[in-house]
Each structure stands twice: as structure tokens, then as C-alpha cells.
């Protein structure tokens, strides 16, 4: 929670602050990439007093961990996420509520998060900002070739990797499939011949 009492309610008042918070649980894209719980998240904040409340603009910096979606190699990054949120005074919020009959104001109200006793909770804002700044499909390097589809080896570690041996086996398998087909054809023609014989009797 952050306190806005020091900032005051005079519109135009500004306050800059930096703070380090601990990453909450599941901070990031769950199961893909994120900041491990308890790791430091550096915050740079700019609080600006406006008529309706406090406009908070900030940047979060944290280390994120995940794995490459192509080769599954662990990776880590420095994440920088920008965010901005309007925290409104409860009385300003009441004013908005009385105008709720107008649909245009409803949409505006949804963007406002109320201040509670001059305090605001940045965690939901941070979570959204971090998720937006993270790659949905993180890769260890832009041109990561991924894993060998036949043996699972990481191709970036072994650029000359290839599988001649499997090609031969595959050819043999195709040959086998071909002879099986021939065999079925033979059986079929034999059965047809049998029917013909019965009809002749």
C-alpha cells in the first residue's frame, strides 16, 4: 500500500518516489515466464495530485525467469514495465455514481480505482503491467531453432545435427509398407477367385 497523505490534495502537487517491493505469488504469466515470489521489484513512481484523485505513473523493473518455448532452455530477462493508474478520491467516486444513469460515464468509472483513506494498492496495477510487458512466447534467442523433432536434441547447441541413419530406416519402413500393400492385394484377388469358383459350381 502506498500513502498519498504527504502528497496532499492540492491539484498539481507532485511526488516522486522509488521503492523496492517483493514480488507476490504468481507474478507474471503463470507457467510461462515471471518473477519468482519474493524477488525484488524496483519501482519508480510519480504521484500527481489532480482534481479527482491521484494519478500514478511508474516503471517497474524486475528479473523474470521462464523457459524458451522452442527449446525449453531456462531463460532470464530484465523486465521493464510501464504503468499508469488513476486512483480517485471516494467523494469524486460518489459524484460519478450519481451520474450512473449516463452510459458514457460508466465506462469512465471503470478505469478509476478508489483511494482508501488516502492509500492505494498498486499490486493489481503491477500485475497487469507485467503481464502486458512479458512475451507470450518467450524464446532464448530470436532465431532459436528449437529441438530436433526426431531425437529432441537442442539444435542451437549442435547446428550440424542431422539424422542420416533414421532416413535409411524410414526408407526401409516405407518399403515394408509397400510390400504389405502388395500382400493384401494378392489375398483380395485370391478371395475373388474363390467366389468365381463357387459361382461356377
Binding interface with Zn ion (CB under 5 A): 68, 70-71, 73, 140, 144, 148, 150-151, 153
* 199: enclosing H helix or E strand: helix 164-200
Provide, rounded to whole angstroms, the least separation between the CB of residue 135 and Zn ion: 12
Provide, rounded to whole angstroms, the least separation between the CB of residue 37 and Zn ion: 25
Instruction: Pick the closer one to Zn ion by CB: 68 or 81.
Output: 68
Beta bridge partner(s), residue 149: none
Please say whether the beta carbons of 40 and 21 come within 8 A.
Answer: yes
Instruction: Pick the closer one to Zn ion by CB: 4 or 70.
Output: 70
Question: β-pairing, 40-49 with 14-22?
Answer: antiparallel
**Packing angle, helices 90-98 and 103-110, rounded to 10:** 160
Provide, rounded to whole angstroms, the least separation between the CB of residue 169 and Zn ion: 13
Instruction: Pick the closer one to Zn ion by CB: 143 or 184.
Output: 143
Instruction: Pick the closer one to Zn ion by CB: 100 or 137.
Output: 137
DSSP 8-class letter at 36: P
Cell numbers that stand for 150 in this block:
526426431
Cell numbers that stand for 14 in this block:
507532485
Provide, rounded to whole angstroms, the least separation between the CB of residue 139 and Zn ion: 5
Amino acid at each position: 500500500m502506498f500513502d498519498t497523505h504527504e502528497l496532499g490534495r492540492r491539484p498539481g502537487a507532485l511526488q516522486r518516489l522509488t521503492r523496492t517491493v517483493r514480488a507476490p505469488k504468481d507474478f507474471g504469466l503463470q507457467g510461462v515466464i515471471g518473477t519468482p515470489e519474493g524477488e525484488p521489484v524496483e519501482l519508480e513512481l510519480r504521484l500527481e495530485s489532480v482534481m479527482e484523485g491521484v494519478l500514478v505513473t511508474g516503471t517497474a523493473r524486475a528479473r523474470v525467469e521462464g523457459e524458451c518455448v522452442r527449446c525449453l532452455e531456462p531463460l532470464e530477462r530484465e523486465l521493464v514495465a510501464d504503468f499508469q493508474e488513476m486512483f480517485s478520491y471516494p467523494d469524486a467516486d460518489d459524484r460519478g455514481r450519481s451520474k450512473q444513469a449516463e452510459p458514457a460515464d460508466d465506462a469512465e468509472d471503470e478505469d478509476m480505482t478508489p483511494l482508501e483513506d488516502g492509500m492505494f494498492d498498486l499490486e493489481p496495477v503491477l500485475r497487469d503491467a507485467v503481464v502486458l510487458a512479458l512475451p507470450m512466447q518467450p524464446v532464448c534467442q530470436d532465431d532459436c531453432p528449437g529441438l530436433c523433432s526426431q531425437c529432441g536434441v537442442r539444435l542451437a547447441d549442435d547446428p550440424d545435427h542431422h539424422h542420416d541413419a533414421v532416413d535409411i530406416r524410414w526408407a526401409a519402413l516405407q518399403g515394408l509398407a509397400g510390400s504389405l500393400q502388395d500382400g493384401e492385394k494378392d489375398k483380395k484377388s485370391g478371395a475373388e477367385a474363390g467366389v468365381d469358383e463357387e459361382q461356377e459350381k
